[in-house]
Amino acid sequence: MDSPRMQECTICGDERSVGQLWFLVAESPWEDKLKVLQWKDELAGRRGIYAACSAAHVEELVVHWMTTGSLDYPFATVGLKPARRRQRLGSILPAIEEPDTRGGRLIGELAVDRESVGRALREDPSSLRVILDELVHALERETAGTAARLESSDAMSYGFPRQI
């Protein structure tokens, strides 16, 4: 029987322990969309799904995606990287598969117009800060909400409400 593959953060390489609140990120290269999903073990091992151990590392992946158009993080030293999608084989375009995110809970989705992002990056990169700040706030709310739900379910499993 195969042992489960250890999940590692795409940015820092930390290994995920059971119960840690992590996120998953997937891109739709055809639509220039990015999905941020709640962690789910079944999704984490799928092709084209990237793990992030914190809101800050999701933000780093998003910045990389906004500037390069790809989640393939060049400095990461973890896991098996998906095959280069933008490789040219003569005049034949490579097949680009959409990552399978079915069964995942969507936290947020970001769709961009590449031309507009490029112009914003050239003219005023700080203008994209608002988008990134909102993303981080949403992820922090998600983390706080999940932690509160876990505490509540732990307390209720003993038959009494947790006192605050």
Asked whether residue 103 is domain-assigned, the answer is: yes
Rounded to whole angstroms, the Cα distance separating 87 from 148 reads 45
Beta strand segments in the chain, E: 23-28, 33-38, 49-52, 106-111
Residue 83 has pLDDT above 70, yes or no: no
Give the full edge-to-edge strand order of the sheet including 23-28: 49-52, 23-28, 33-38, 106-111
54 part of a folded domain? yes
- Averaged over 130-139, what is the pLDDT? 87
Alpha carbons 73 and 143: distance in angstroms, whole number = 24
What is the average per-residue pLDDT within 85-103?
62
Residue 131 lies in a domain: yes
123, part of any domain? yes
Query: Bigger pLDDT: 4 or 158?
Result: 4
Distances (CA, A) of 51 to 5, 45, 140, 153: 13, 9, 16, 25
Contact indicator for 44, 107 with CB cutoff of 8 Å: no
Domain contains 140: yes
Query: Residue 156 pLDDT > 70, yes or no?
Result: no
Given a contact cutoff of 8 angstroms between Cβ atoms, the answer to whether 110 and 135 are in contact is yes
pTM, to two decimals: 0.71
Number of domains in the chain: 1
Confidence of residue 16 (pLDDT cuts 50, 70, 90): very high
Assess if residue 164 is contained within a domain. no
What pLDDT was estimated at residue 95? 59
Residue 11 lies in a domain: no
In tens, the pLDDT along 105-121 reads 999 898 888 888 888 88
CA distances in angstroms from 16 to 12, 50, 70, 144, listed in the order given: 11, 13, 23, 18
Whether residue 45 is contained in a domain is answered as yes
Cβ contacts of residue 73 below 8 Å, gap of 6+? 10, 11, 50, 61, 64
DSSP summary character for residue 79 = S
Name the residue range of residue 62's domain.
Answer: 23-157
Which of residues 65 and 146 earns the better pLDDT score?
A: 65
